Amino acid sequence: MSEHILKDGRTLILRDPTPDDAQELIDYLKIVGSETDFLLADENGIEGLTLEGEQGWITSTLESPNTKMFIGTIDGEIVLVCDVRAAGRMRIAHVGSIAITIKRAYWHLGIGKIAMQAMIDFAKSTGVLRSLSLEVREGNERAISLYQRFDFVEIGRHKARINVRGTYFDEILMDLDLTQPAK
């Protein structure tokens, strides 16, 4: 667990999830999915996600040495969920993918920067992960700018990969080489 003072003076607490968080995380996904079209989840959350499935996801995350989920809370409310997820196959076990969501009411407070640094620090601490990858929807300029500040570079695109209410968007692929010193 770690505490971080935000731009507005409130305290963000970063912690590991527990299986007891599962229902609140399911509800959280519905909220953040309804607040923006930049996520794969929508107002229905993640289709087919069950309480047991989310509890299993949390448990497997806690048991994996090169995978970590962070929950960020302010006054007990979950406002951030992010994770580093290592590939399971030996030939690509040195690659981790990251994901991040923040409730809209908490945008522009520096939470994204805190989360990115925590994920990168964790990845470097594993001694195994050599690169991180992420996907971001085209047009999500604030997120892209955040990733670029942490030295992620665009390495390609999936054309028209994301369909939001009949409009197709590219999915931008970005990587960070953890073996290189930060710029």
134-182 pLDDT, tens digit each: 999 999 999 999 999 999 999 999 999 999 999 999 999 999 999 998 8
DSSP 74-138: ETTEEEEEEEEEE-SSGGGTTEEEEEEEE-GGGTTSSHHHHHHHHHHHHHHHTSS--EEEEEEET
Q: Which domains does the chain have, with CATH numbers?
A: 2-130 (3.40.630.30)
Q: According to the model, what pLDDT value does residue 87 have?
A: 82
Read off the tokens for 43: 């107002």
